[in-house]
Structure 1
Amino acid sequence: MFLCCWLALVALISMTLSTNPGVKVKLTEKGLDYGRQLGMASIQQRLKTIQVPDISGTQKVSPIGTVQYSLSNMQIVDCGLPKSSVDLVPGTGVRLQIGNAFISLHGNWRVKYLRIIKDSGSFDLNVNGLTITTSIDIKSDETGRPAVSSINCAAIVGSVTIKFHGGASWLYNLFKNFIDKALRNELQKQICPLVADAVSDLNSQLKTLNVVAQVDQYAEIEYSMVSSPTVSKSSIDLSLKGEFYNIGKHQEPPFSPAAFSLTPEINMLYIGVSVFTTNSAAFVYNKAGALSLYITDDMIPQGSPIRLNTRTFGAFIPQIAKQFPGLMMKLLVKTVKNPAITFEPNNVTVQATSTVTAYAIQPNTTLSPLFVLNLETSVSAQVFVSGIRLAGAVTLNKMDLTLGTSYVGEFQVRPLNSILQMVLKVVVIPKVNVQLAKGYPLPTLGKMKLVNTQLQVLKVRDWMFSIKLHAFE
């Protein structure tokens, strides 16, 4: 797998370009070198598959005249790539250089001269000082995923040594030179196509990129690229759309991503998720009606003295107990506009505007509305990486209640604060955290694994977490 660490991050190159991304990925030189180490094994295996065809011909050799020769059953027995490097070419791409490589080959030789004299044996050939230089080109395929290819490849065979076995020893030096030349030309002709094949092999794996990753029954997230990769002296930067959509309906939110940047440090990979991405999630879930919850008494802990019935609420609103005596109640908590998510240093805050509608449950299960409260809440979110998903958990900061509509006459809202705060803490927030703990998929390739993840909220407009890549299987 050649440069898989880098290419694992190249989601797709979209035909439609956008100004700013929602998600940015930065692969540093350290990450690129990690990919080089993984890639060498793939190239080495490819070079071992070199198939050298039988070579035959005639050569005039003084003083015996024309010699017919053939080389057959040639097989690669060993191959080594002890020295390699990967360089970033600003504005262009990546250049791979392999030096001091060697190839060992074994085969059979046969000659015929003076029309009737034949001789044969075997030989071992060692190629040393082999150098390979190639560049990687990235294009978008018909699905919007990247397709990679090797360009500007050059292979130079260094020294060649041949050791013959069997036959008359005086013949060896007579055809050593033209065997050397024939094999050198054949090897040089095959090396670059095999390197190109090793690069091309990545395309099947790149098709596993989760360009559109389903999150749950409501949402999916798109990781298409909004612009081509940017290559600098120190890193490769990828700009991904990073936008949530309702499944089957791609409607753009009424806001756009703002520009932000990532600063390379010491790790292999950095992923920056902007507030646009998280707010697009809020937009999608609110539009899907997923940010609403019916709360019934069986959801309240059994040991709680506060119950969802007209007796409890009647202690604060006497007219409820009078008009609807002895009935159970149900609450509907529902957002009325998109929650607003902001990033501050080491803190993520979510502001939500909701309504709480209280109903009395009649014996025939009919719901009688009692009142509607306006609820403003602020929660802090702890964000973390779980496997290859971004997960989180929230805690309540504060809440504010005001009366929206009353169907039982005027009453003071303040006494209900303790009830609603309890409901939020023991019912609503735990349910939200169960969903958040499931996480949201990060851009991945195949069975990519992430280890030693570090997440940090940086500033108001974006957060960043650094990742060390472990392996690709």
Structure 2
Amino acid sequence: MSVLVWSALLAFIPLSLSINPGVMVKLTEEGLQYGKQLGMASVQQKLKTITVPDISGEERVNPLGKVRYTLSNMKIMDVGLPQSEVDLLPGTGFRLSISNAFISMNGNWKVKYLRLMKDHGSFDLTVNALTIITSIAIKSDETGRPTVSDISCTATVGSASIKFHGGASWLYNLFKKFVDKGLRNALQKQICPLVADAVSDMNPKLKTLNVLAKVDQYAEIEYSMVSSPTVSPSSIDFSLKGEFYNIGKHQEPPFSPSAFSLPPQVKNMLYFGVSTFTANSAAFVYNKAGVLSLYITDDMIPKSSPIRLNTRTFGAFIPQISKLYPGLMMKLLVKTATNPLITFQPNNATIQTSSTVTAYAIQPNATLTPLFVLNLESSVSARVFVSGMSLAGAVTLNKVDLTLGTSYVGEFQVKSLDNIFQMVLKLVVIPKLNAKLAKGYPLPALGKMKLVNTQLQVLKDYMLIGTDVQFTG
């Protein structure tokens, strides 16, 4: 389990820039408490590495006179952290408080007194009432990822109890009076540096945040931070860029994100808000890459369909086609004319597209002869869902509006082609689009992060994803 894994839930912390986010993330108290449970194991392991130096000295013990003592080979056997709390520090980060902890160890003892008298044996020792309070600041590094550091730490070691194996009862008084203080001081000096090391060990884990996540061969999405975290007593809100780019070509779209904020939530550990800006930046990128176009041929139409892509079928609606180009197969090119527009309204995600459809007759020598160009205005409804660590979707056709752009075969009634093109969209274009959307695009993630109990709502101008989190390694 990664060190102080609750820091993984704090991996969505933004930089101090003055731009609106495309994606917002809210970490709730539930998420902090889950992270604390995981992190305690890491703190415990750190404290088990405490090394206790040999303690020796010389004291006068009545009626024995001077007694020289040594405690050596002390080893930590167990560390217990029965009570711990993690609290948000508004404007700073969070505070970890550990109380009623204990450290058990064993070692060897020996004493020398009355010049020639010696005694030795072993002992078991438990330090109780150990308290640790550390405050941790959250900032950002040059890559847009979070980094943490401890800004204060106090450690208090309470009482110690020891059980000697061998020796006389006066050894207990010797320990209680002279050794107890030295041992507690030795422990206190090491605890806070070890806690600081544990905090530093978070940072390599935080660097796994996918600030630039590849989607496919055309696009990547950036999750760098765009503003400082907003820390309240109940949650931390983080602002991420959430913008798609063409791979290797980070060109800004002709629109920018609008400000939005997430409503108060307490049910889940983590909430993602994905804005329409993020979705529309994806549409801009894919349109710019030239991949929002599709050639449709007859072999893509189900064999059971009575409508074929040939001049005979289209000649039934446009007689000039079958007269000018009898017995030829046809090809359609569907291509977006402008960037698709994606809108989110409560319980409704819609994509509107303006496209052109160019129909060609395929000549015997395979050259293409243009027949006509139609303007196609279409609207689809999208069902959005979370699949693994990705946001995926599927669309259904709402409506189609066809108008004539250019005709190379004379005038004809475009309305007569409505059924053909609705069939082409439903049987060919929509399934192709859904196959792409089903692959999804990656959400912000850290390490081996898994989302569970996930729910998604479409709200005005953004989608809200509520989820719990598990870390598998």
TM-score of the pair, normalised by structure 1: 0.96
Question: What is the Cα deviation at residue 95 of structure 1?
Answer: 1.0
Letter in 1 for 2:292: L
Question: What is the Cα deviation at residue 112 of structure 1?
Answer: 2.2
Secondary structure at 2:448's aligned position in 1? coil
Question: What is the Cα deviation at residue 463 of structure 1?
Answer: 1.7
Check the 8 A contact 2:335/2:357 in 1, yes or no. Answer: yes
Check the 8 A contact 2:4/2:43 in 1, yes or no. Answer: no
Give 5+ residue unaligned stretches, structure 2: none
> Match of 1:189?
189
Question: 2:107 and 2:143 mapped to 1: Cα distance?
Answer: 46
CA gap of 1:158–1:174, structure 2 versus 1, over 3 A, is closer
> Match of 2:414?
413
Question: 1:120 and 1:84 mapped to 2: Cα distance?
Answer: 38
Question: 2:207 and 2:7 mapped to 1: Cα distance?
Answer: 15
Secondary structure at 1:250's aligned position in 2? coil
Per-residue CA deviations over 1:283-342 (Å, capped at 9, x if unaligned) read 000000010001000000001010011111111111111111111111000001100000
Question: 2:6 and 2:342 mapped to 1: Cα distance?
Answer: 32
> Match of 1:315?
316
> Match of 1:285?
286
Question: 1:30 and 1:430 mapped to 2: Cα distance?
Answer: 40
CA gap of 1:279–1:377, structure 2 versus 1, over 3 A, is same
User: Where in structure 2 are the equivalents of 1:220-299 lying within 5 Å?
Assistant: 220-265=220-265, 266-299=267-300
Letter in 2 for 1:338: N
> Match of 2:89?
89
Check the 8 A contact 2:229/2:237 in 1, yes or no. Answer: yes
Letter in 2 for 1:83: Q
Per-residue CA deviations over 1:3-58 (Å, capped at 9, x if unaligned) read 5345334246447x132100000011111111111111111121122111222333
Check the 8 A contact 1:2/1:36 in 2, yes or no. Answer: no
Question: What is the Cα deviation at residue 154 of structure 1?
Answer: 0.6
Secondary structure at 2:463's aligned position in 1? strand
Question: 1:9 and 1:428 mapped to 2: Cα distance?
Answer: 41
> Match of 1:350?
351
Letter in 2 for 1:49: T
> Match of 2:342?
341
Question: What is the Cα deviation at residue 62 of structure 1?
Answer: 4.2
User: Where in structure 2 are the equivalents of 1:351-370 lying within 5 Å?
Assistant: 351-370=352-371
> Match of 2:100?
100
> Match of 1:398?
399
> Match of 1:372?
373
Question: What is the Cα deviation at residue 467 of structure 1?
Answer: 0.7
CA gap of 1:12–1:366, structure 2 versus 1, over 3 A, is farther
Question: What is the Cα deviation at residue 2 of structure 1?
Answer: 5.5
CA RMSD of aligned residues (A): 1.5
Question: 2:54 and 2:360 mapped to 1: Cα distance?
Answer: 89
Question: Which shows bigger deviation, 384-393 or 76-85?
Answer: 76-85
Check the 8 A contact 2:54/2:74 in 1, yes or no. Answer: yes
Letter in 2 for 1:154: T
Question: What is the Cα deviation at residue 149 of structure 1?
Answer: 1.8
Question: What is the Cα deviation at residue 136 of structure 1?
Answer: 1.1
Correspondence 1:325 to 2:326: yes
Check the 8 A contact 2:293/2:334 in 1, yes or no. Answer: yes
Secondary structure at 2:101's aligned position in 1? strand
Question: Which shows bigger deviation, 252-261 or 83-92?
Answer: 83-92
Question: 1:9 and 1:168 mapped to 2: Cα distance?
Answer: 55
Question: 2:343 and 2:244 mapped to 1: Cα distance?
Answer: 17
Question: Which shows bigger deviation, 339-348 or 149-158?
Answer: 149-158
Question: 2:30 and 2:396 mapped to 1: Cα distance?
Answer: 37
Question: 2:113 and 2:370 mapped to 1: Cα distance?
Answer: 110
Question: What is the Cα deviation at residue 59 of structure 1?
Answer: 3.1
Check the 8 A contact 1:128/1:160 in 2, yes or no. Answer: yes
Aligned sequence identity (%)? 75
> Match of 1:423?
424
> Match of 1:160?
160
Check the 8 A contact 1:11/1:210 in 2, yes or no. Answer: no
Letter in 2 for 1:315: A
Question: What is the Cα deviation at residue 139 of structure 1?
Answer: 2.5
Secondary structure at 2:124's aligned position in 1? strand
Question: 1:5 and 1:73 mapped to 2: Cα distance?
Answer: 35
Question: 2:238 and 2:409 mapped to 1: Cα distance?
Answer: 58
User: Where in structure 2 are the equivalents of 1:109-258 lying within 5 Å?
Assistant: 109-258=109-258
Secondary structure at 2:304's aligned position in 1? coil
Check the 8 A contact 1:9/1:25 in 2, yes or no. Answer: no
Per-residue CA deviations over 1:166-204 (Å, capped at 9, x if unaligned) read 123333323432221111011111111222222222212
Secondary structure at 2:308's aligned position in 1? coil
Letter in 2 for 1:98: I
Question: What is the Cα deviation at residue 163 of structure 1?
Answer: 1.6
Check the 8 A contact 1:373/1:405 in 2, yes or no. Answer: yes
Correspondence 1:77 to 2:42: no
Give 5+ residue unaligned stretches, structure 1: none
TM-score of the pair, normalised by structure 2: 0.96
Letter in 1 for 2:155: A
Question: What is the Cα deviation at residue 67 of structure 1?
Answer: 2.9
Per-residue CA deviations over 1:46-79 (Å, capped at 9, x if unaligned) read 1122111222333344444433322211111121
Secondary structure at 1:8's aligned position in 2? helix
Check the 8 A contact 2:9/2:31 in 1, yes or no. Answer: no
Question: 2:341 and 2:446 mapped to 1: Cα distance?
Answer: 31
CA gap of 1:3–1:230, structure 2 versus 1, over 3 A, is farther
Question: 1:453 and 1:175 mapped to 2: Cα distance?
Answer: 57
Check the 8 A contact 2:13/2:239 in 1, yes or no. Answer: no
Question: What is the Cα deviation at residue 472 of structure 1?
Answer: 4.2
Question: Which shows bigger deviation, 291-300 or 37-46?
Answer: 37-46
Per-residue CA deviations over 1:216-235 (Å, capped at 9, x if unaligned) read 01100000010111100110
Letter in 1 for 2:313: T
CA gap of 1:85–1:12, structure 2 versus 1, over 3 A, is closer
Check the 8 A contact 1:264/1:270 in 2, yes or no. Answer: no
Per-residue CA deviations over 1:127-166 (Å, capped at 9, x if unaligned) read 1111111111122234332221222111111121122111
Question: Which shows bigger deviation, 34-43 or 47-56?
Answer: 47-56
